[in-house]
Amino acid sequence: MKLVTGGICAAKGFTANGIHCGIRKNRTKKDLSLIFSQVPAHAAAVYTTNLVKGAPLTVTKLHLQDGVAQAVICNSGNANTCNADGIEIAEKMSAATADALGIRADDIVVASTGVIGQPLDLAPIVGGIPQLVAGLSGDGSDAAAEGIMTTDTVKKEVAVEFELDGKTCRIGGIAKGSGMIHPNMATMLVFITTDAAISSDMLQKALSGDIANTFNMISIDGDTSTNDMVTVLANGLAGNTEITQEGEDFSAFMQALNTVTVALCRMIAGDGEGATKLLECRVQGALDEPTAKTVAKSVICSSLLKAAMFGADANWGRVLCAIGYSGAQVDVNKVGVSFRSNKGTVTVCQNGAGVEFSEEQAKEILLEKEIEILVTLGDGTADAVAWGCDLTYDYVKINGDYRT
């Protein structure tokens, strides 16, 4: 397996584009994106667990009932959520896109992201679709990634190449996510494409199994969004024998999918609103996997710890505090904590108690852009990883006037 360029267009038969159609006032920001497969593709998706769901999710669920899709249309700048005509708008977005592409409206994944509770004007979207379709390109992943951004500061895209059944396959993805990100599912928009041949049932199994250890292990701010989803389209153009059951090929596909999703998780966490640092909590020695995940999530969600990481303060007591209220069954007298970055590793706690360490060394380690929080529990062999970011002054600034 190796990293390749191309993002969502790395796989055979996929093109993409992103434009400014007029939803957002800033004409320099793209606000409408399209991903297209030259042939119908098997499709799978997972959705936010928030009871308040955007209209596009309702429409997409209906469209994917047959496990097939051929295109994804997504706007930014407006979430199309809590609108009386939201379903109608989402369906009309699908219909206009289908007409321009010459495909069925039921084969469209529709998504929106942005401000909640604001009416979404369909006119700029319908007016922009001809330009969007005309500009579809095998080099369009970058433009599409830009078109789905809201408060994101960087585009997020990745692709890998791997082998199935003697055939070269590719899988790639783009994502948006900077705020309103918190487990569980989906907490962001992620669109993944692959030319591997895999049935829709096995594709759903692969995606549902993967997110438990990837996208469900991210937290930026403790808020689970209303609109977000992860979708995968597999058009089979790589020519491998279709994966219809578990086995070596399914495992290889899962590994490739996980490589893409972990990379996107890290990009999303590192680009949290106002963030200056990517935090990765690695828990080892747990009694079982649920315990490891619970501890990792609790640590990464701690606002006090996130603030300490912003200040490069090795306040390890906040790690133990988060473990203590996590609800996990842990023997606190066995807990160890270390901080690690490119500048080295410093152990700050062993057997549930503090140990002597150099504050100067700890400060140097915690001033880096990527910080690992290493937790050992000493109860078993299970482990887990969660991702997040520091909590800064800018988070409040960004969200204080997000709507206005």
User: Directed axis angle between helix 289-301 and helix 317-324, to 10°?
Assistant: 130
Identify which of 65, 63, 57, 66 has the alpha carbon closest to the alpha carbon of residue 105: 63
The answer to whether residue 187 is catalytic is yes
State the Cα angle at 214 between 63 and 72, rounded to 5°.
Answer: 25
CA distance 152 to 179: 8
DSSP class of residue 38? E
Identify which of 293, 282, 294, 303 has the alpha carbon closest to the alpha carbon of residue 389: 303
CB count within 10 Å of CB 201 equals 14
CA distance 205 to 185: 15
Longest dimension (CA), the chain: 68
By the 8 A CB rule, do 301 and 219 touch? yes
Single out the catalytic residue among 187, 214, 226, 294. Answer: 187
How would you class 208 by CB atoms within 10 Å of its CB: exposed for 0-12, middle for 13-18, buried for 19 or more? middle
H/E stretch holding 309: helix 303-310
CA distance 249 to 244: 10
What are the structure tokens assigned to 16, written together?
């993409």
Distances (CA, A) of 363 to 197, 259, 312, 349: 49, 31, 5, 16
Catalytic residues: 187
